[in-house]
Structure 1
Amino acid sequence: MKLVVLAHLAVAFAPLITFLLKLGVEDINSDFDALIQTAVVLVALSVLVGATGKFQSLRSVGPGTWVFLILSELATSVSWLCHSRAMHLGEASRVAPADNLSVVFGAPIAAVLLGERLSAMGWLGAGLIAASAVLVAAAP
C-alpha cells in the first residue's frame, strides 16, 4: 500500500515540475536553472533526512554503492540539464510527454539488465505510453 501511495504522489507532483519550471526559466540560463534546482533538492532532502533521523555515516556506504549512486546522479544531472534546455526551447506540453518516455526505455532496461519480468499488460502499457507521447508531441 505504501508503494501505491508513494507512486501516486510522484505522479501528482511530476506535472508540477514541468509547469513550475516553464514559468521559472524564462529569465535565466538553463544550466544555472538546473544548478538552482539541485541546490534546492540538496537542502530539502537534508532537512527531511535530518528531521526523520535517517542520516547515516558516509562510511556506512560501500564502494560499490558509491559507484552506482554517483553514476545515477550523473545521469540525473544530464537528464535535468537536457530537460531544462528543452523547456527553454519548447512548449511544456511537448517536453513533458517526451520526458515520460523514460518509462518506455526503463522497462526493457529493467528486463535485460536487472532480470525483472513485465507482464503482457505491462508491455502493452509501455507501448501505449510511447504511442501517447508521440501523439501529444506531434499534435498541432
Structure 2
Amino acid sequence: MEKWVLYAFISMFFAGFTSVIAKMGLNGISGELGLTIRTLFVCAFVLLFAVWAVPVQQLAEVSQRNLLWLGLSGITTALSWIFYYKALKLGDVATVALIDKGSVVVAMLMAWLLLREVITLRMLAGAGLIVAGLLVIAKKP
C-alpha cells in the first residue's frame, strides 16, 4: 500500500471520531463556542507538530502563491467548520457527517475544473453512489 493511502485511511479513522466526540463536547454550549474551543486546540496541536516536523529552512520557500491558496483554503475550512458545527449541534451525527462527506463529490469536480485531474467512469460511479447515499440518509421518513 502506498504511504498516502495509509495516511488517508488514518485521516478517515480520526475524522470519524471527531464528529462523535465533538457532539459530546457541545453538550450545554453553543456550536460557535464549541468550534472556537476546538479550533484553539487544533491550532496549538498543529503548531507543536510543525515545530517538530518542519525544517526552519522551508519557511524561506513559502511564496505569495502558497500564501494565497493556503489562505483561501483556511477560509473555506473555517466556513466549513462553522456550518458543520451549527449542523452538528442541531442534527444527528451520522446524518450530518454523511452530508459533509458529499464534499468528496465537490472536491472531485473542483479538481477536474481547476487541476485538470481526470475523472474516470469508476470515480463517476462512486460519486453517484455517494449522492444516492446522501439522498437516502438525509431524507426524513
Q: Which residue of 2 aligns with 1:123?
A: 124
Output the CA distance in 2 between the equivalents of 1:45 and 1:56: 18
Output the CA distance in 2 between the equivalents of 1:77 and 1:9: 22
When normalised by structure 1's length, the TM-score is 0.91
Q: Which residue of 2 aligns with 1:107?
A: 108
Runs of 4+ in 1 over 4 A off after TM superposition: 55-59
Residue 58 of structure 1, CA deviation: 4.5
Contact persistence 1:49–1:55 (CA under 8 A): no
Q: Unpaired runs of 5+ in structure 1?
A: none
Residue 34 of structure 1, CA deviation: 1.5
Output the CA distance in 1 between the equivalents of 2:56 and 2:27: 36
Q: Which residue of 2 aligns with 1:2?
A: 3
Q: CA RMSD in A?
A: 1.6
Question: Residues 68-83 of structure 1 correspond to what in structure 2 (within 5 A)?
Answer: 68-83=69-84
Output the CA distance in 2 between the equivalents of 1:53 and 1:66: 17
Output the CA distance in 1 between the equivalents of 2:46 and 2:56: 10
Output the CA distance in 1 between the equivalents of 2:55 and 2:130: 35
Q: Unpaired runs of 5+ in structure 2?
A: none
When normalised by structure 2's length, the TM-score is 0.91
Residue 56 of structure 1, CA deviation: 5.1
1:80 counterpart letter in structure 2: W
Q: Which residue of 2 aligns with 1:94?
A: 95
Residue 50 of structure 1, CA deviation: 1.6
Q: Which residue of 2 aligns with 1:24?
A: 25
Task: State the percentage of identical aligned residues.
Answer: 29
Output the CA distance in 2 between the equivalents of 1:56 and 1:129: 42
Output the CA distance in 1 between the equivalents of 2:91 and 2:57: 41
Q: Compared with structure 1, are the counterparts of its residues 56 and 19 closer, same or farther at alpha carbon in structure 2 (3 Å cutoff)?
A: farther
Output the CA distance in 2 between the equivalents of 1:3 and 1:64: 24
Pairs aligned (count): 140
Output the CA distance in 2 between the equivalents of 1:10 and 1:55: 26
